[in-house]
Structure 1
C-alpha cells in the first residue's frame, strides 16, 4: 500500500498552491525541446506544461483527486518505483517534492532511468535560513530542513548517477500566486492565515503550538509597525532570492 502523508496536509492544496506564471516560464524553459515529460510528485498538477505530452506520478489519492479535469493523466505511484520502461520520456520533472521522497537515492535513480533530461526544483537551506520568517519567527523550519534532501543532496546524487547538474536561482516574485513557504515574503499578513499555512509543508509539519506562538509574535509586530520598520528594504523589491533553485541535468 502507498502511504499518503498528504491525506490531511493536502486537503486544500489545489487552491493554495496554484502555479505562478513566471516560475512556470522558467520551468518550461528548462525542459527545453522535450516533447514527453513525466512529472514525479506531481501533486495537483502545478507546473505541468500544456504544450507537450505529460504523465503525472503522484502517491497521494487526495492530491490526485484535486487535479483539474484538464490536467495530464495521473498514475498513483512512488518516485522510488516508477512504472515506466527505461528512457520512456524526454524529460523528468520534480517540483518541490524530492524532500518528501522516502528514498532519495532510489527516486533520483528512477527519474534518471526513465528520462533523458531531469528538471528539479528544490532549495538551498543555507540561503533560506536567512529568510525573515525563518530567522526571526520560526527557526524550527531551518532545524527541520537539516534532515531533508535539498539542493546539495540533489546535486550530489545526480552527480553520482553520472549527471552534470546545472543550478540556477529561481527568484520569488513579490506577488507570487503559488502559496509555497517563501511566496509571501513581501506580504507578511498572509502568514497569519491558517488556510495559507496549511499549504506549506514546512510549517504544517511543525509542532503547531510552536507555530501558534510564532504567528502571535508576527501579528503583534505587524500591528505595532515593528515588522515594517525592520524590513522596509523589502517593500520596494519586485523579486527576492530565497534560495529556491532550478537544477537541470
Structure 2
C-alpha cells in the first residue's frame, strides 16, 4: 500500500493544478511530442503530449478524469516501459516518496530520449517556511527525513538546470506552502487531507499546531508577524524545477 492509498481519497478536490505552475512545467518540457508522467497521481500538470502515466496508487488512479492519458500501475524504480519510449519524462512532487532514488532517476533517464523534468523542493529553504518554523516543526523534521537534496538530483541526472518556482498568492494547488498568504487555508479539513505533511503526522501533533494558528489568526498576531507577506504577489518557498537534457 502506498501513502496515497491511505491519504489520497479527496486529493483531486484539494490539489487542482495551478495554471502558472502548469505554464512553467510546459515550458520546461519544450517541444517534446511524447511524455511519460511518472508518479502521475490524479494527472495534475499532465500535458496533452502524455504518452503514458505511471502511478502505484489505485486510489489516485481512480481519481484521474475521463480522457486522461493511459495509466499503468507501477513504481518509478521499475518502469514497465521500453528504452527511449518518449521524448521526455516528468516527475512532479513525487521523488520524495520513492524508495530508491537512484533507481528511479535511472529509469527516468532510460525511458526518455531527450529530457527529464522534475518538480521538487529545496529543504534547505523550505524548512524555514513560517508554517513549519512557527507551528509545525515536526513537519520540518518529517521533510528533513524524506526530502531529496537538489545537489543529489542534479548529480543523478548527470547535470540539470535548476529553476525557482515562485508560488502565486492565490495558488490553486494545495501543496505544502500554497497557503503562504492565506493561512486560514491550513484550517480547512479538505486542504489538510490533500497535504501529505499534515496527513502523515499524528493528529496529536497536528491538532494543537492548527489550534495555535487559529488562535493567532483570531487575535491578529499572525498578521502582525507576517505583514510583509500581505502585499506580495508571489513567494519563493523553495520549490524547484530541474530540467536535464540527455
- Tell me the TM-score normalised to structure 1 length: 0.95
The alpha-carbon deviation at position 179 of structure 1 amounts to 0.6
Q: Which residue does the alignment assign to 1:33?
A: 31
Residue 215, structure 1, aligned to residue 210, structure 2: yes
Within 2, Cα distance between the matches of 1:186 and 1:70?
Answer: 34
Residue 152 (structure 2) aligns with? 156
Given candidates 81, 87, 103, the residue that maps to 1:106 is: 103
Q: 2:184: which partner in 1?
A: 189
RMSD across aligned C-alpha pairs, in angstroms?
1.1
**Could you tell me which of 58, 80, 99 is aligned with 2:55?**
58
- Contact 2:105 2:156 (C-alpha < 8 Å) held by counterparts: no
2:173 paired residue number: 178
Q: Which residues of structure 1 form unaligned runs of 5+?
A: none
In structure 2, which of residues 137, 140, 152 is the aligned counterpart of residue 139 of structure 1? Answer: 137
| Distance of aligned partners of 1:60 and 1:96 in 2 relative to their CA distance in 1, 3 Å threshold | same
C-alpha deviation, 1:41, in angstroms = 0.3
Q: Could you give the per-residue CA deviations for residues 155-210 of structure 1, whole angstroms, max 9, x where no partner exists?
A: 4245245x211111000000000011111110000101122111010121112111
Q: 1:87 aligns with which of 74, 84, 88?
A: 84
Cα offset, 1:44, TM superposition: 0.3
Are the aligned partners of 1:122 and 1:151 in contact in 2 as well (CA < 8 Å)? no
* Deviations 1:91-136, CA, capped at 9 Å, x for gaps: 0100000000111111111111111310000001111112110110
Q: Could you list the runs of 4 or more consecutive aligned residues of structure 1 that deviate by over 6 angstroms after TM superposition?
A: none
Structure 1 CA distance, aligned partners of 2:128 and 2:240? 15
**Structure 2 spans left out of the alignment, 5+ residues:** none
Structure 2 distance, partners of 1:158, 1:174, is 29
